């Protein structure tokens, strides 16, 4: 959900710069993204015990949306909405389409080798699922990339809403975000809207919380060891225990109050834990690197490596490797593939890398930057 904003989308200006000055708060945010994308991978790798995996589901995607809200720049986009569309299209939609088509080609190859993919699926059905951009009964082959279309729509809705609400009192803003979130939940019970519009509405409350964390500079005030930590832990465990199974992709929220409570409390606990880990140079460096590469891990770990591992397990190895080896292979493979892609002109742009770009891409980005000023 990575690192571009996934949360890993970056601004057009950032795409033209090889280095970006990081404040301590943004370093923590990179580490948070690193932890969150690791939780996503271990979930898709079949983490056991299942109850632990289900507990992570309660906050890992809400945390992505909270990070997205924290990184949202009101000064850049409230008065320049077209700039938001351009940059998010470059950093979210294009990688989504490219990753979807890449997984589709791999699926076609494995299909000819008689993999577990159903022969009843027509060759064009996964392409229709990519165009629809949401859960399609398993037809979206690279399942995790649904988050990219969702995040794209989420930021559009948030920007359009907050540009008109920004001068309103905080309770009015909160009420509006709650109304949008509830409307998304209601819509999701009727129809899975294209490009996850209904889920994007549900996520508005999380994005709003992340935005307020930055507006009120609360991230630096969060303390790891205090009474608040114990209270948050009690709230999270209680809400997660009493709520049913949560899966935003499948529009399974359980009790909506418990869903939001567990999502918010769990996310704040994860931020607190990240601040603790930031004191270790080793863990800080590893998690920061993984966080910056969260987009690459998001689009490659399942649609390439887990798909290949499933083939190997079924036809070569003969048994399941286990969640830990699968996670290591999927993450390491995604990072290595990202390193290669960044040095291929054009390909790095298509799949969200920050490396070597084609001359045409550099010209496009420079034009986008000049127009957004």
Give the chain's length: 373
In terms of Cβ atoms closer than 10 Å to its own Cβ (0-12, 13-18, 19+), residue 37 is buried
| Residue 151 confidence (pLDDT) | 97
Q: Mean pLDDT, to the nearest integer, of 130-150?
A: 87
Asked if pLDDT for residue 370 goes beyond 70, the answer is: no
Q: 324-349 as b/e, with b when 16 or more CB fall inside 10 Å?
A: eebbebbbebbbebbeebbebeebbb
Mean pLDDT for the stretch of residues 72-98:
94
Token pair for 85: 């569309």
Mean pLDDT is lowest, of 24-28, 59-63, 217-221, for 24-28
What is the predicted pLDDT for the residue at 314? 82
CA 293 – CA 338 distance, rounded (Å)? 8
Predicted confidence at residue 114, as pLDDT, reads 63
Question: What's the pLDDT at 138?
Answer: 67
**In the prediction, which pLDDT does 313 show?**
85
DSSP result, 155-175: HHHHHHHHHHHTTS-HHHHHH
The token duo for 141 is 């082959």
Q: Compute CA distances 50 → 43, 56, 156, 263, whole Å.
A: 9, 10, 35, 18
Task: Judge whether residue 277 has pLDDT over 80.
Answer: yes
For 247-263, write each residue's pLDDT tens digit. Answer: 999 999 999 999 999 99
Computed over every residue of the chain, the mean pLDDT equals: 85
Strands (E), the chain: none
pLDDT digits (tens, 9 = 90+) for 289-333: 999 999 999 999 999 999 899 888 888 877 888 999 999 999 999
- Look at residue 111 in the predicted model and tell me its pLDDT: 81
pLDDT number for residue 359 = 44
pTM for this model (two decimals): 0.85
Can you give the pLDDT at residue 25?
Answer: 60
* Average pLDDT value for residue range 231-238: 96
DSSP string covering 250-299: GTB-SSHHHHHHHHHHHHHHHHHHHHHHTTSHHHHHHHHHHHHTHHHHHH
Structure confidence by residue, pLDDT tens digits, 107-139: 888 888 765 445 578 889 899 999 999 876 667
Position 12 scores a pLDDT of: 35
Residue-wise pLDDT tens digits, 27-73: 789 999 999 999 999 999 999 899 999 999 999 999 999 999 999 99
Residue 20 has pLDDT above 70, yes or no: no
- The CA distance from 153 to 195, in Å, is 7
**Tens-digit pLDDT profile for residues 336-348:** 999 999 888 888 8
CB 298 within 8 A of CB 40: yes
**Measured distance CA(99)–CA(227) in Å, rounded:** 44
pLDDT of residue 368: 43
Q: What is the pLDDT of residue 220?
A: 74
More confident residue, 48 or 371: 48
């Amino acid at each position: 959900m990575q690192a571009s904003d996934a949360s890993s989308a970056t601004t057009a200006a950032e795409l033209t710069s090889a280095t970006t000055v990081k404040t301590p708060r943004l370093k923590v945010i990179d580490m948070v993204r690193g932890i969150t994308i690791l939780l996503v991978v271990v979930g898709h790798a079949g983490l056991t015990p299942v109850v632990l995996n289900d507990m992570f589901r309660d906050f890992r995607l809400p945390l992505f949306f909270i990070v997205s809200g924290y990184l949202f720049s009101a000064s850049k986009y409230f008065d320049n909405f077209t700039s938001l569309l351009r940059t998010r299209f470059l950093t979210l939609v294009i990688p989504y389409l490219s990753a979807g088509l890449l997984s589709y080609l791999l699926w076609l190859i494995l299909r000819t080798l008689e993999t577990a993919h159903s022969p009843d699926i027509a060759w064009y059905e996964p392409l229709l699922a990519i165009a629809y951009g949401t859960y399609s009964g398993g037809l979206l082959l690279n399942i995790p990339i649904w988050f990219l279309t969702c995040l794209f729509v989420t930021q559009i809705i948030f920007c359009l809403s907050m540009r008109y609400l920004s001068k309103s009192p905080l309770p009015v803003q909160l009420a509006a975000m709650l109304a949008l979130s509830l409307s998304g939940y209601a819509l999701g019970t009727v129809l899975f809207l294209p490009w996850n519009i209904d889920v994007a509405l549900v996520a508005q409350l999380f994005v709003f919380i992340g935005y307020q964390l930055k507006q009120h500079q609360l991230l630096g005030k969060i303390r790891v060891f205090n009474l608040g930590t114990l209270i948050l832990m009690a709230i999270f465990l209680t809400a997660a225990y009493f709520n049913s199974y949560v899966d935003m992709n499948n529009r399974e929220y359980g009790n909506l109050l418990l869903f939001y409570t567990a999502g918010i409390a769990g996310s704040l606990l994860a931020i607190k834990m990240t601040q603790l880990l930031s004191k270790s140079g080793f863990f800080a460096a590893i998690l920061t690197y993984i966080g910056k590469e969260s987009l690459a891990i998001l689009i490659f770990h399942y649609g390439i490596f887990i798909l290949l591992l499933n083939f190997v397990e079924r036809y070569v190895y003969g048994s399941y490797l286990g969640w830990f080896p699968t996670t290591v292979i999927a993450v390491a493979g995604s990072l290595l593939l990202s390193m290669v892609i960044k040095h291929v002109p054009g390909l790095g742009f298509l799949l969200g890398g920050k490396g070597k770009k084609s001359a045409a891409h550099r010209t496009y980005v420079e034009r986008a930057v000049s127009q957004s000023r």
